[in-house]
Amino acid sequence: MAKSIDPQEQALRELLPDYLNGHAPADVASRIAARLEHDPDWAADADWLGDIRTALEAEAASMDPAAGLAELHRRLERPGFWRRCYQRLALPALAPVAITALASLCMGQAWLLWQQAAPADQLRWRSVPGAVAQPASLRVQFLPTASMAQVAAALEQAQASIVAGPLPDHSYLLDAADPPAALQSLRASGVAGEASRVDARTAP
């Protein structure tokens, strides 16, 4: 090993492992085959490599895969993390805890729903803050038999418009450009049951 080696010879020798494994290109293979045939040092080198292969192959062949295979099967049968969690939760001892938790959740949800429904009972109509109410000059109670079209035509003819209503007594407050004329017109229209003037100070 102490003698100097020709770089080309060295490069060829480094391909010996590939040659022995059948991976060397054809031109390289023929050159190596010639060396192995005529050079005892090359042949010895190939023998050492052959010894390594033989030793490892024999070692592998002596191994019985049965124990490892049994261990592998044990691992495959062992449930995964989430399955183990589920199984733990599904234990009978934990059933009361799970039921109590679910019942608490249902009760909490019911209480929240009841809280949301309660304020609806206290709803009240209120005037829009800051808005000025239109003045009413007439109070009219339309006949129940009058249609919407007849009411609209009577209001148009009387030049009046609804300001508020229906009030608790089923009457409407109207604003008219000429209240006396409008009152007369409405009474004559045949759709108003009761109609009267409203004093602006007593209007609701």
Partner 1 sequence: MSALPVNPAELLAAMASGDQRALDALYRAWSPRVRVFARLQLSGSGLDVHAVADEVTVDVFHAIWRAPMRYDGRVAFGTWLLTLARNKAIDQIRRHGKRLAREVPLDSDSEEQAQAEHDPGPQAARESLQRRHAVLKCLLRLRNPMQRESLTLWAIDDLSVADIAHIQQAPEGTVKTRLFHGRINLRQCIQRWFAQEGGRHG
The structure tokens listed for 67 are 């124990």
Q: Which residues on neighbouring strands pair with residue 197, listed in sequence order?
A: 138
Interface characters, 8-27, with partner 1 (x: CB under 8 A): -----xxx-xx--xxx----
Helix (H) or strand (E) holding 115: helix 95-117
Which residue, 22 or 144, is less far from partner 1 as judged by CB?
22
In angstroms, the CA 19 to CA 37 distance is 14
Sole window of 53-61, 102-110, 117-125, 151-159 interacting with partner 1 (rule: CB under 8 A)? 53-61
Which residue, 53 or 84, is less far from partner 1 as judged by CB?
53
Peptide bond into 166 cis (omega under 30): yes
Q: Binding to partner 1 (CB under 8 A): which residues in 23-52?
A: 23, 45, 48-49, 51-52
69 binds partner 1 (CB under 8 A): yes
* Chain centre distance of CA 193: 61
The only residue of 7, 40, 65, 168 in contact with partner 1, by rule CB under 8 A? 65
The only residue of 39, 41, 54, 133 in contact with partner 1, by rule CB under 8 A? 54
What type of residue sits at position 123? L
**Cβ neighbour number for residue 29 with a 10 Å cutoff:** 15
What type of residue sits at position 65? P
Residues that bind partner 1 (CB under 8 A): 1, 13-15, 17-18, 21-23, 45, 48-49, 51-61, 63, 65, 67-69, 71-72, 75-76
